Amino acid sequence: MSVNLPLLAFNDVYRVSQRFVPQPGSPEEDVKPDAEIGVGQFGQLINTIRQEWKTQENGTQDGLVLFAGDVFSPSVESSVTRGSHMVPILNALKLDAACIGNHDFDFGYPHMTKLVGDTNFPWLLSNVVDTLTGTTPVPLHRFYVTERCGVRIGLVGLVEEDWIATIPSWPNNFAYRPMKEVGLELSRELRDPNGPHRVDIIIALTHSRVPNDIQLAKDLGAVKDRDTQNEQGVDLIIGGHDHIYYIGKGADSWEGYVGLRDRPGTRDDDGVRLIKSGTDFRDLSEATLELSPPNENAVRRRVITSLTGKHHYVTPASPTSPKLDKLVKNLLDSVTKTLHQPVCYTITPFDARSEIVRTQECALGNWAADVLLHAYDESLVEKNARVRFEKDGADGEGGKTLTEGADAVIICGGTLRGDSQYGPGIITLGDILEIFAFDDPVVCLEIDGKGIWDTLESALSKWPAQEGRFPIVAGLAVEWDHRKPPGQRIDSIHLTVQETEHNDDEYDPSAEVLYMEQPDGTRIEIKQARVKLGEEVKNVEGGRTYYVITRDYMAKGFDGFEALKDRHMIVDHEVGQSMSSIIRSFLLGSSFIFRMTQPAAEAHQDHLDHICSRTSNLLKRHRTLQCSPSQSIASSPSKAKYDLGQFVDSPGTSPMHPSFKNIVEAATAVKTEQVESSISSISTSGWGMLRRHVIEHDWVTIREALHVAKHEHMSDVDPCDGRKLRHQTIYDKTPPAATPRTGTPGLLVDPKRKAELKDLAPDVAIVAPQVDGRMRDIASDDGEQES
């Protein structure tokens, strides 16, 4: 006999609460401009619909709640919790299965295993294989078989290759397999009449663009007007990744759906059975699959004879779940407490005052842009693209990194918020979120030389007004003259060159810019390579193109950045990560490296369980650098020595800007006594155990910190107690004890040594933002000389 199978589907959810924006087709309501909707209302909607389903004898309800990926990032909350706050929310929604999405890897595979491992439902990733084991990466599943309404259902998870290439932390041993090939393979396995599964239907959860989903549906027979009962394949696709609500033409009816049928990317839809459910806890799809009576002689024992459904909208008037609201409040209270925790210690101030960041090169902007330059370094961003990345041979043998990544960063002074000076001293997580307040993604686009010139000319056009468009750059050296008319202020733009491998010669004059000695013998060195001019960026349309990292807001042409608009995207807004998350990853990686190179940690090196061998290699280098005895060349242990930085035009030297001389005066406003006080305050802690501490800020060090943050567990240096968050529930119960999960990558160290390392303090990265003259205003230099 025929059967009606109910299911609910959603995908790409990030914010637990958001401002309500009416959508086409949503019920008309008289709402306030600042009205919000939240996950409590979404959860109540699911519960209301689910209560209408029949309950089996074992207590399971005859229906499925399915999720098609992207939940742990990005959001403001996830910048704090690294996605842990979403685990109890998903558990409270009582999902039946999920497909992994690209943003679920934002904090690296090791951390993703903890997030997924603490959920109470299976996560699917069918077409990726861990080549070290020959199986699906732990703790994900190749498929999942369940039964509802007397129907055996096979669930598979298929993802497109395009977004895998954009994940910086994608493990080298994870091999991709084509969706169609794996779909057919799993169909043969799961439908085998002599096999253990003998499923009636197969539903594919995908994380893929609409055009790829449509093609996959046609390849695998998830179509309406075709006899597929003797074809291998899948019966229905439930997809995510696009953030649009789309129902394939294979649906017989769909209440509330007002989407455009022939929008770009959907014109090949000639009757596919595809459900894509919008985004952000505001869209929910309710579907009913009418299934044919079983046919034991057909490949597909049952087929879909009718697909109907409804687009449910969450609005401010939607009822909410008090239990889920309470859970969210508790989670957000934990987030608020975490904001007061330190994430780094800065020797020089984080100066985010508007009169600084919007009118001149600033140390904080330089530091942030340098980190962003390497945000996607480990991404193989495009097939046959100019960007080439040296993948670690045999999991990092030799510790090599990429030889070529993004060319430059262009952001704007308005990106840095807070309008205050933070430090010198402890910088909290709340400070980071206050400074990097915008949550639009960091993207990478392709642009020619003229586009770069036009972008920077526009950025400089409003000076001296404190407009947010004033440029912050990395990878570029710009000479400009504010005396010239707007649109003609730039004299030259060059790419900058830095070493791709470390030179650990402590007397290298091109890197050492400041050092101090303490009475206990500890030496603090701030090392930053001088700016070296590379290839000139010519003001020519076409020809040589460059990969530039910027904000999605700017890439859309806002705030005068029309020259960035409509460019070819390498990493787009749906793949990119938020700036605060990238900065936080860098600080976590830096903290990890610092902790693991302290003498007390060195004694435990034989017991460490590093996931990536490259980590061990880079830690050896840092340990040698930090702990090696070093003869002082300071004239006095209480005095700082400044090395006047300048542009270096290789192969000759071209003095252009006495930059470091102006760090104290123009950018950091820190007196020597203040810096000495800051150093003195930290030398009494665990740092005093070191003979030498080096603060490096170069391309290789930044890459190493970002690599470590994505490829190792960061729980020991994370001020946010992720495990405590993940084990909260909607019930008033004490969180259960953690249960070890077989095959999941383990803790960094065993519990005893973890406790010993936890006592080491402080556990924060040490930074020292500096001005290096990459945005040189010739007129200002001339004015200083005349006076």
The per-residue pLDDT for range 333-379, each reduced to its tens digit, is: 999 999 999 998 888 899 999 999 999 999 999 999 999 999 998 76
CA angle 456, 457, 461 (to 5 degrees): 120
Q: At a CB cut-off of 8 Å and minimum separation 6, what does 522 contact?
A: 683, 687, 688, 690, 691, 692, 693
Domain around 453? 339-721+762-777
Same domain, 309 and 369: no
Same domain, 409 and 456: yes
Please check whether residue 757 lies inside any domain of the structure.
no
**Pairing state of beta strands 476-480 and 490-497?**
antiparallel
**The domain spanning residue 176 has which CATH number?**
3.60.21.10
Please check whether residue 738 lies inside any domain of the structure.
no
**Pairing state of beta strands 545-551 and 408-412?**
parallel
**The domain spanning residue 481 has which CATH number?**
3.90.780.10
Please check whether residue 745 lies inside any domain of the structure.
no
Same domain, 285 and 348: no
Same domain, 137 and 172: yes
Same domain, 286 and 371: no
Domain final residue pick, 299, 333, 367: 333
**Pairing state of beta strands 692-696 and 775-777?**
unpaired
What per-residue confidence (pLDDT) applies to 672? 39
Same domain, 310 and 420: no
Domain final residue pick, 286, 301, 333: 333
Please check whether residue 29 lies inside any domain of the structure.
yes
Q: Could you tell me if 702 and 401 are in contact, meaning their C-beta atoms sit under 8 angstroms apart?
A: no
pLDDT tens for 677-729 read: 444 444 344 333 444 455 677 888 898 999 899 888 898 889 899 999 999 98
What per-residue confidence (pLDDT) applies to 145? 98
Q: Could you tell me if 415 and 441 are in contact, meaning their C-beta atoms sit under 8 angstroms apart?
A: no
What per-residue confidence (pLDDT) applies to 597? 77
- Model-level pTM? 0.81
What per-residue confidence (pLDDT) applies to 642? 31
Same domain, 385 and 270: no
The CA distances from residue 410 to 363, 504, 705, 714, in Å, are 15, 30, 22, 29
The CA distances from residue 759 to 94, 132, 595, 681, 763, in Å, are 38, 35, 11, 18, 9
Please check whether residue 45 lies inside any domain of the structure.
yes
CA proximity to 672, closest of 719, 701, 634 = 634
Please check whether residue 59 lies inside any domain of the structure.
yes
C-alpha span between 739 and 754 (Å, rounded): 18
Same domain, 554 and 682: yes
Same domain, 523 and 668: yes
C-alpha span between 509 and 694 (Å, rounded): 14
Q: At a CB cut-off of 8 Å and minimum separation 6, what does 416 contact?
A: 352, 357, 362, 364, 365, 368, 435, 436, 472
Q: Could you tell me if 561 and 554 are in contact, meaning their C-beta atoms sit under 8 angstroms apart?
A: yes
Same domain, 229 and 324: yes
What per-residue confidence (pLDDT) applies to 531? 85
C-alpha span between 417 and 357 (Å, rounded): 9
Please check whether residue 78 lies inside any domain of the structure.
yes
What per-residue confidence (pLDDT) applies to 459? 97
The CA distances from residue 778 to 482, 648, 655, 784, in Å, are 8, 17, 13, 10
What per-residue confidence (pLDDT) applies to 637? 26
What per-residue confidence (pLDDT) applies to 600? 56
C-alpha span between 311 and 308 (Å, rounded): 11
CA angle 336, 338, 339 (to 5 degrees): 70
Please check whether residue 787 lies inside any domain of the structure.
no
Domain final residue pick, 333, 352, 382: 333
**Pairing state of beta strands 765-767 and 342-346?**
parallel
Same domain, 167 and 198: yes
Domain tally, the chain: 2
Low-confidence ranges of the chain (pLDDT < 70): 260-261, 379-404, 499-529, 598-611, 625-695, 731-763, 782-787
Same domain, 587 and 457: yes
